[in-house]
Structure 1
Amino acid sequence: MAAPTEGMAGLNSLGAAEAMSVAEALSLPAEAYGNDPNLEMVWAMKAYQHAEVYFNLISSVDPRHLKLTRTDDVIYAAFRSDFPELRIDVLDPEELKSPAAKEKWRPFCMKFEHEVEDFNYGTLLRLDCSKEYTEENTIFSTRIQFYAIEIARNREGYNDVIFHQTAEPGK
């Protein structure tokens, strides 16, 4: 995974009290904030850390055995019911971000409003599942979109390539 940006590295220097203040601030509803660049950086850092942890997980544990949420089975069934033909090995950003795609994704996401904690938080999602998180291979999605696509990638074997690349001697 690429090194964190300079701003993200700066967050690592926060003391315990400052980190607690940041955590408390993140628990407030989005309406409480304007377009605060400092807050955006904190959200970006949180998304980056989530991506790093997830990539390390699929690199070290067979993805077919991972359980990402307590509702993986429900998420997977709903995802494949609503998006049976969506290509998940290499995502087309238009399938997530175009106005037509947003109209399809919105009802899917709302199904999980009370089922998945922070279902609509911003999360980083790899476009090509055979590659690492990089600026060119990453898109911003909601957490439930991330879960739906990554649960499907794990169950359907698309993330196996990452696990096998890191499991091979000399890698």
Structure 2
Amino acid sequence: MTNVPTLSSILNRPAEEFVNDPDVERLWAIKAVEQMTVYFNLIKSVPTKELRLTPNDDLIYTKFREQFPDFNVQIIDIEALKSDEAKAKWRPFCNQFENLVQDFNFATFVRLDCSSNYDENNSCIVPRIQFLAIEVARNREGYNEMLKQKFNNLNKQNGQS
């Protein structure tokens, strides 16, 4: 009888045995940038208060505001996402969507200041469900509509339609 390792035995091995695969990281980065670009173009061009990102937007928004009633979606404090205390609060929120939202934990870029574009100083990586919670709230609460108006005004000033 051969000794076939189980998934559990593999996952219990020291982390040093695992290496990052550059091809996987490159493919993730490509997908994340594509998603970021599509989303930003979308919020600049459609009425964001009516925008639906998933079939579960209502549930995501309700649960988000129940569990994070005072979370500032306009300008995100990175500590509200990345501190140990914040991670302890976000983890159960995120995990409740594991079977409801496709790729719920896929690494996704979120803008820290919703009035500005994605760039290296205004973006951080979060799980997709965290991105969705923040962006659904921004859309419903009107913050992304202000961004759309800002970019439309810039385009008019530059002679673009």
Give the TM-score band, short-chain normalised: 0.7 to 0.9
1:60 aligns with 2:45: yes
Per-residue Cα deviation, 1:12-44 (whole angstroms, up to 9, x for no partner) = xxxxxxxxxxxxxxxxxxx8x840122111101
Per the TM alignment, residue 166 of structure 1 is displaced from its structure 2 partner at its CA by 2.7
Offset from partner CA, 1:44-79 (integer Å, 9 cap, x none): 111111000000000001111100000100000000
Once structures 1 and 2 are overlaid, which stretch shifts more, 68-77 or 40-49?
40-49
1:170 counterpart = 2:137: no
The equivalent residue for 2:121 is 136
1:14-163 alignment, distance < 5 Å: 34-163=19-148
Supply the RMSD in Å over aligned alpha carbons. 1.3
One-letter identity of the residue aligned with 2:54: T
* Consecutive unaligned residues in structure 2, runs of 5 or more: 1-10, 12-17
Matched-pair identity in %: 50
Q: TM-score, structure 1 length as denominator? A: 0.79
* Equivalent position of 2:6 in the other structure: none
Check whether the contact 1:91–1:127 (CA below 8 A) recurs between aligned residues.
yes
1:127 and 1:138 in contact (8 A); partners too: yes
Unaligned runs of 5+ in 1: 1-30
SS at 2:44 equivalent: helix
User: How far does residue 167 in structure 1 lie from its aligned partner after superposition?
Assistant: 2.5
Is the radius of gyration larger for structure 1 or structure 2? 2
Would you say how many aligned residue pairs link Structure 1 and Structure 2?
140
Q: Is the 8 A contact 1:59 1:166 kept in 2?
A: yes
Q: What is the CA–CA distance in structure 2 between the aligned matches of 1:68 and 1:75, rounded to whole Å?
A: 10
